[in-house]
A and B are shown apart, each in its own frame.
Chain A
Amino acid sequence: MVVLRKLLINLFSVIYNLAMKRTSLLTSALLLLALLVQQCSSTKPPVVVENTTTTYPNSDYVIKGTVVKKNASNLSGMTSSNTTAIIKVTETIEASPNQEGFEGKEITMMLNAQQMASLQEGGDYVFFNQTTHFGNTLGAQVKAVEPGSTTTTSIKEKIRLQQQAEKNKALKERLGTADLVVTGAVISADSVPVAPIGETEHDPQYVRSRIKVKKVLKGSADGDVQFYFASSDDVHWYTAPKFYSGAPGIFLLRQNNDEGPVKGRYTLIHADDFLNNSELKLVKALLK
């Protein structure tokens, strides 16, 4: 999903660059297509889970595995010690795309003394981990260990619910810190970037835009709202959302506090601050 999103954003960047050069009608057509794709990509499950008790520690990599050797390491550059163990992955329960595909392979885990004591070589366990090293194999810090007899289906479901809760919590925090939350559509975007604080490759190249507000969800706004977004494709800004006339959605706007040309103005520079209208129900619930 992350990869897909990045690809889409890259596509947006290319289209935007073309658009900024006012090339052709074809560009406009591509823009429309891109907007449609972006809406699709922003679709999120309308599940509201709040106040879920955290069951598992914060982990990005959950696997079932067999202890091959305690006090050992197969990760290049990490010396064997009484805090390392080699684990053979037997099942991946939760992983980012870069952590997938390790079934049948051996990785190195770092454990505390208590965790290490609970393991037996040859034994099967469920490991909740934070992956720390990507080298010839993975290196992961163990956050919790459970017996291997635990059914993975139930773990997966718990993790799914937990992740959803965490995602919603994060959104709630974003909504809480936003100064203005509105629904509506972009009605204009200036072609001339705002003068930067200084000339730098990392200039966000702020572009002024306006939203025709349909509904104010947080804060107050009269009529159209003016805001700024980062049009730059610099490494700092290429993932920041780019806006074009007609883009509908939910806008989380923030007053910019940094010294510079947009200080005190509304900005939208984080991808998570622009949501698809399909998230409206969730947003409303979280704003309550």
Chain B
Amino acid sequence: MKTIYLLLICLCCSIAHAQTFRVVNMIPNTESNETNQDSEPSLTVNPNNPQEVIGTAFTPNPNGVLTVAPIYISQDGGNTWTLNSIVPSGNGMTGDITVGLSRNNTLYAGILSGGAGLQMQILRDNTYTVAGAMQVLLTRNNEDQPYLKTITPLGGPLRNNDLLYVGHNDFNAAAGRTASIEQSMNAATAPPPAGLTTVRLEVRNTNGQDGPPIRSATHPNGTVYAMFYRRTASVGTTRTGDITVVRDDNWGQGALPLVNPYGFITDPGDGLAGVLVAQNISWVWNNGAAMGQERLGDRCSIAVDPRNSQTVYIAYLDLPAGNPANTTTLHVRRSTNGGVTWSNDLLTVNNVIVPQLAINIRGTVGLLYQQLTPQVFGQNWVTHFRQNTNAAATNWNDNILSNTPSNVPVRAFGPYLGDYAGLEAVGKDFYGNFSANNTPNVANFPNGVTFQRNTQGLQLRNFNNTANVPISIDPFFFEAEQIPDNRDFYVRDWTTNTTTFDIGLEPSTNPIFYTTSDIWNRRSNTAGGFNGNDQPNNENPWISTSGSNYAFARVHRKGTGVSETVTLHFLKSEFGTGSNYVDANTTADPTLSFASGESVKTMTSGYEWELIATNSTHVCLAVEINTPTDPVVTPTLLGRAPGWPNTDLAVLYDNNKAQRNLGVFSGGGSPGGNTGGTNDDNTTTYYAVVHNAALHPRNMVLQFQPNKSFIKIAGRNPQLSFPGSKPKLNVVDSTNTLTLKNMQPGENRWVGITVPVLPDGLKIPVEIAFSEMKDRMPINGFTLRLQASRVEQTFMENYRLHHEVFFRMGKMFDSRYAIVESKSIDESLIQRKAGDEWYLDYMKAHIRTMASLTKEVMKQNDYGDPFELNKALEQLKEHIGKTNIHGMTIAHRNFNHRMDAYLTYLDKQKGDIADILQNVRWQRKLYTTNKVLTNIKGSKSVVGSSKTFEEEYGKGTGPEKYPAFIQRIWPVLEATVATDEGSMAGLKYPFEWMKRVKDNPQELQKAHRKFLLKLEGL
């Protein structure tokens, strides 16, 4: 099974660049008569719906009205377009315009007002498909080239706010430091100016100004980059200066008073904010028809890797010494450390205009540009779309989208084709637009083209198809599609109701992507159907003595393609966040066969998996789906937690992965109203494990969101506890943020959530979601859901958990008495739903045994009573003594949950095979980066062996191979211990421990981790 699984992945890696192109002339059919110079296009794609694309160009309002100018709208992924004139104007056209659609379905535009010279306006509209001018948020004169980007964070304090970044060259700035950004941290609804404020990016002297283009790139974790041309000299048509890149790590707000906005990187030369990536370069400034009728000037672009905010690419034009006048050279460069240092040129191309960069969720860089190229007859403008084909970005493929004469038509105005074009990465795909000669000659468009406007042979035709129309410049849309929609399979990450749900977007647009996903568990081999909101009916798993579990998934595909078979691979981890996944079972992966035309399939038979007796029943489930053309993106979740070791291709970014980190429990009580005891008696504490899956110590940040029911029952501030860790290490602040400080790699920390008993008749479940944040981006999380329950259900759940925790205790500690206690409640009893009288008698008879077994386990393990089991037992005894069944029921539930968490806690003390791969990755990192370790003879073999182990893990290599792996690197570990530093660090103790447990993967993992912790301190 594993072999097949991996073969699929390998096969799919090899076809990763087998993409298809779609090129569409954007002029609508009703505009068949038009002969405008529709140059300088831009584009934005709705992050909620890639079928909706908005484009712009220098296109006049077709109806002649001068007060508004048109945008282009497509509702079918760019196949057809409609002009809607909604941009305020003075002459029926726009000046410079760029647009951005937000996750709040709001359209923003940054423009220079048509007919008003250098008047910048920033606009907003949430009804952009219908008539009516966009709302003006800001108007300011003496501005140039507003270039707009928007992002809506999924997490953090600015969660769901629309953030705007409008680069602009502001001639109002003092001292010629004109490079600026107009930004808002909440632009969606606030009245004008919607929080827009000006931030000056330039901190150095110039020769009077910076260049017009100020470009920005945002990462979902709050990192914002910007680049611009700093000008230092101007002679004739030659400009000289530096390419400058600035960075902010807090959405452009800085970290005042320590760091000014965009002041997070400084140049080593002068220590000022912004790194001078290319210094003292020259370029052409010529507003005439300098090259192929196009004007030339400062042109640049910047893009950040969505998987890693430290990886950023730039593209810019210059005129290297010795090159002909009125030409350009494109340079592409990269930084992998957040803009601090930069590569040499990864790519250079001559005679280029409109360079645009974007990076998709796989980290592939897309580069769009147009190049003036000698042809048989004259010169042509050739539109290239290129992508890097190796990780070093030194190899680039090349796809030609258009190849058209540069001398037809005659330029009506500048720019002829544009000072910029449009390019966006949408999940795996790229969307863009460019302007070109519109001769309907398929030979001019090697990757195909479709026209909406009328054509006949090589001629454009008028609307009534009665006459030819002269050739002009039109905007062209294109999509570089990595996987055709009809072969793009996905598992929903979330479903709100029958009309609002995940449509396979990458990244997912809902930060809670682990609660209502289309993967679920059942305790019998029936899918269980879906509730009224189209969410699957999940059942918490049970341990093997109670029966098998069955994992189910529903798989969608974006279109209705040919028949295909989808393979599903299921994994599990501890309930909570950050715990590494292991295979749910080793039996063959199930498949789903899609017939031609089918777009959704639900497993009718589940994937059987078992929780061994020593496992908690509180677990998370994940699924990864594969087809030959649509593989899960590596790395898989096996041995990992979403988001770690970096954010690369986590569940959020790969629609082939889904997980359910949801614990559902009955939170109701029993007849009798008040417990008659203290407030504590009325509560139950539920536990989740938070695990640091990173390879370095860190503060783990969890943001929690209680729903309305939770707030009603337990208040806005949940009662949290942290058994087994020092209170000062766990801090809750007023922004619903929990920080678990100084978490070591592989460390587990328990979070207890204490909730009062749910009142009768509560219809909406009590829910609290915890999102694990990396920087400001949710990468993982879990949800606790409590639902009102009937008395019998509460009893039944208590019986079952009682049975499970004592069985687990018996197996873990080989305790015959615990097994007997467990078996005092068997399945037939649970199913009989024995009533309150029996329950009271039972508890009276068993409370002493429960107490003595608890005491015995505590004594054996010597970890104290972090989960306050003694207190829980005392409460239980008190209620039993008072024959208070209601109080007893809640106290029993409370005891069961605490005991379950305690047993998991004890189990983890022995080590965790789920963390083996994390240990190995961590070890490789240490032997690669730590100077003491790299100097040890054989350290390279540790790195190499570790890498091999990681690559082979899951491909026939699992935990059982771990001891042999450790044996292979043993001499180097021994040599490490023998160094002075190793001796000082006390490596000998964990090393000896490893030796003692060398044949037991679980215990070896723990000893190895201790060893690595010591290495971390070297």
Interface residue ranges of B129-165 to A (CB < 8 Å): 129-131, 141-142, 144-145
Report whether B287 and A234 are in contact in the complex, using a CB–CB cutoff of 8 Å.
Answer: yes
A259 and B141 within 8 A (CB)? yes
Q: Select which of B63, B82, B129, B234 is within 8 A of A98 by beta carbon.
A: B63
Q: Is the CB of B91 within 8 A of A14?
A: no
Task: Give CA–CA (A97, B130) in the complex, Å.
Answer: 23
A235 touching B415, Cβ below 8 Å: yes
CB < 8 Å: which of B83, B85, B91, B145 contacts A135? Answer: B83
Q: A138 interface residue, CB < 8 Å from B?
A: yes
* CB neighbours of B129 from chain A (8 A): 77-78
Say whether A235 contacts B131, CB under 8 Å: no
**B41 CB to closest chain A CB, in angstroms?**
13
Contact B212 A200 (CB under 8 A): yes
Is A197 a contact partner of B413 (Cβ separation < 8 A)? no
- Please choose the segment from A49-57, A113-121, A125-133 that sits at the chain B interface, where 4 or more of its residues have CB less than 8 A away: A125-133
Residue in chain A with minimal CB distance to B31: A134
Binds A, one of B112-120, B437-445, B579-587: B112-120
When distances are taken between beta carbons in the complex, the residues of chain B under 8 Å from A236 are 95, 112, 114-117
Binary contact track B586-615/A, C-beta < 8 Å → 1, others 0: 000000000000000000000000000000
Contact (A198, B414) CB under 8 Å given A134-B30, A136-B80: no
Instruction: Point out the residue from B74, B76, B117, B410 that lies within 8 Å of A258, measured CB to CB.
Output: B117
| Contact, CB under 8 Å: B62 / A259 | no
B573 to chain A, nearest CB (A): 44
Contact A235 B34 (CB under 8 A): no
With A60-B64, A141-B131 known as contacts, the answer to whether A203 contacts B178 (CB < 8 A) is: no
Please report the C-alpha to C-alpha distance between residue A138 and residue B32 in the assembled complex, in whole angstroms. Answer: 12
Q: Is the CB of B285 within 8 A of A233?
A: no
Which residue of chain A lies nearest to B409 when distances are taken between CB atoms in the complex? A10
User: 1/0 contact trace for B59-85 toward A, CB 8 Å?
Assistant: 000111100001001111000111111
- Given A96-B64, A259-B142, decide whether A232 and B287 contact each other with a Cβ distance below 8 A: yes
| Complex contact A135–B63 (CB within 8 A) | no
Report B-chain residues with C-beta under 8 Å of the C-beta of A100: 463
Chain A residues positioned under 8 Å from B178 (CB to CB) = 198
Rounded to whole angstroms, the CA-CA distance of A10 and B35 in the bound complex is 13
Residues from chain A with a CB closer than 8 A to the CB of B208 are 198-199
Cβ–Cβ contact B118 & A60, under 8 A: no
The answer to whether A101 touches B419, judged by C-beta atoms less than 8 angstroms apart, is: no
Residues of A within 8 Å of B410, CB to CB, are 10, 14
Contact (A234, B414) CB under 8 Å given A96-B62, A201-B295: yes
Interface bits A178-212 vs B (CB < 8 Å: 1, else 0)? 00000000000000000001111111100000000
Asked if residues B30 and A200 are in contact (CB atoms below 8 Å), the reply is: no
What 0/1 readout, one digit per residue, does chain B (22-40) give for beta carbons within 8 Å of chain A? 0000001111011100011
The answer to whether A135 and B30 have CB atoms under 8 Å apart is: yes
Q: Does A3 contact B (CB under 8 A)?
A: yes
| Smallest beta-carbon distance B296→chain A, Å | 10
Known contacts being A101-B462, A136-B29, A197-B171, is A75 close to B413, with CB within 8 Å?
no
Cβ-defined contact, B297 with A238, below 8 A = no
| B-side contacts of A237, CB under 8 Å | 413
Q: How far is the CB of B52 from chain A (nearest CB, A)?
A: 9
A162 within 8 A of B: no
Question: Is A77 a contact of B73 with CB atoms below 8 Å?
Answer: yes
Residues on the A chain within 8 Å of B415, using CB: 201, 235
Cα A236 to Cα B141 with chains together (Å): 14
Bound state CA distance, A270 and B66, in angstroms?
Answer: 13
Given the interface pairs A60-B64, A236-B117, the reply to whether A202 lies near B412 with Cβ below 8 Å is no
Name the distance in Å between A127's Cβ and chain B's nearest Cβ.
Answer: 14
Q: Which residue of A lies closest to B297 (CB)?
A: A201
* Residues of B in contact with A, size category: 35 or more
- B116 cross-chain contacts in A, Cβ below 8 A: 236
Closest CB of chain B to A143's CB: distance in Å?
A: 12
List, in ascending order, chain A residues with CB within 8 A of B297's CB: 201
Residues on A with C-beta less than 8 A from B83 are 133-135
Indicate if the CB atoms of B117 and A98 lie closer than 8 Å. Answer: no
Task: Please judge, given known A-B contacts A201-B212, A233-B413, A239-B91, whether A75 and B82 are in contact too, CB under 8 Å.
Answer: yes
Interchain CB contact under 8 A, B63 and A200: no
Q: Assess A77 versus B74: contact at CB under 8 Å? Given A60-B65, A132-B131, A199-B234.
A: yes
Asked if A260 is an interface residue, CB under 8 A from chain B, the answer is yes
User: A251 interface residue, CB < 8 Å from B?
Assistant: no
A199 pairs with B463, CB closer than 8 A:
no
Q: Quick check: is B58 within 8 A (CB to CB) of the other chain?
A: yes
Chain A contact residues (Cβ within 8 angstroms of B): what range? 35 or more
Closest CB-CB distance, A9 to chain B, in whole Å?
Answer: 9
Cα distance, A3 to B412, chains bound together (Å)? 13
- Inter-chain CA distance A137–B62, complex, in Å, is 13
Q: Interface digits, B410-435 against A, CB 8 Å rule (1 contact, 0 not)?
A: 11111100010000000000000000
Cβ-defined contact, A204 with B117, below 8 A:
yes
B35 & A3 in contact (Cβ 8 Å cutoff): yes
Q: Does B623 contact A (CB under 8 A)?
A: no
A131 touches B63 (CB 8 A): yes
The one of B63, B130, B209 that contacts A99, using a Cβ cutoff of 8 Å: B63
Contacts of B519 in A (CB 8 A): none
Residues of A close to B70: CB separation below 8 A: 134
Cross-chain contact A134 with B33 (CB below 8 angstroms)? no
Q: Inside 8 A of B65's CB, which chain A residues have their CB?
A: 60, 130
Q: Which residue of B lies closest to A21 (CB)?
A: B288
A192 CB, min distance to chain B CBs, angstroms: 15
Q: With A198-B208, A238-B413 in contact, is A136–B93 under 8 Å at CB?
A: no
Bound Cα distance from A235 to B58, whole angstroms: 8
Counting chain A CB atoms within 10 Å of each CB, the highest count among B28, B412, B415 belongs to B412
Q: Are B209 and A135 in contact (CB under 8 A)?
A: no
Q: Is A65 located at the chain interface by the 8 A CB criterion?
A: no
CB distance from B351 to the nearest CB of A (A): 19
* Closest A residue to B295 using CB positions: A201
A76 CA / B82 CA spacing, docked (Å): 7
Of residues 206 through 238 on chain B, the ones whose CB sits less than 8 Å from some CB of chain A are 208-209, 212, 234
Chain A residues, Cβ within 8 Å of B411:
233
Docked CA distance A130–B61 (Å):
12
Instruction: State A137–B452 Cα separation when bound (angstroms).
Output: 11
| Residue B685 at the chain A interface, CB threshold 8 Å | no
Q: How far is A96 from B140 in the complex, measured between Cα atoms in Å?
A: 33
Min CB gap A234→B, angstroms: 5
Check: A66 CB closer than 8 A to any chain B CB.
Answer: no
Closest A residue to B73 using CB positions: A77
Nearest A residue to B68, CB-CB = A132
Q: Do residues A136 and B412 form an inter-chain contact, with CB atoms below 8 A?
A: no
Query: Is A168 close to B, CB under 8 A?
Result: no
Say if the beta carbon of B498 comes within 8 Å of chain A: no
Determine the chain B residues whose CB is within 8 A of the CB of A227 once the complex forms.
none
A260 close to B144 (CB less than 8 A): no
Which residues of A (129-159) have their CB < 8 Å from a CB of B? Answer: 130-139, 141
Q: Are A202 and B31 also in contact (CB < 8 A) when A134-B62, A233-B413, A238-B412 are? A: no
User: Given A234-B287, A235-B93, A134–B28 Cβ distance below 8 Å?
Assistant: yes
Taking CB atoms, residues of chain A closer than 8 Å to B831 are none
CB-CB nearest in chain A for B35: A3
* Shortest Cβ distance from residue A243 to the other chain B in the assembled complex, whole angstroms: 18
- Shortest B304–chain A CB gap in Å is 27
Residues of A within 8 Å of B80, CB to CB, are 76-77, 135-136
Q: How far is the CA of A270 from the CA of B208 in the complex (A)?
A: 30
| Cα separation A76 to B72 with both chains bound (whole Å) | 12
**B76 and A76: CB pair below 8 A?**
yes
- Whether A228 sits at the interface, judged by CB under 8 Å, is no
Question: A96–B171 Cα gap in the complex (Å)?
Answer: 39
> Is the Cβ of B30 less than 8 Å from the Cβ of A136?
yes
Known: A101-B464, A139-B82. 16 other contacts (CB 8 A): A14-B410, A17-B288, A75-B82, A98-B62, A134-B62, A135-B29, A135-B30, A198-B144, A199-B234, A200-B144, A201-B297, A202-B96, A235-B40, A236-B114, A239-B91, A258-B142
Q: Lowest 3 CB-CB distances: which A-B pairs, in order?
A: A135-B82, A238-B413, A132-B131
**8 sample A-B contacts, Cβ–Cβ < 8 Å, listed by A number:** A75-B82, A76-B75, A134-B31, A136-B82, A198-B169, A234-B413, A236-B114, A236-B117
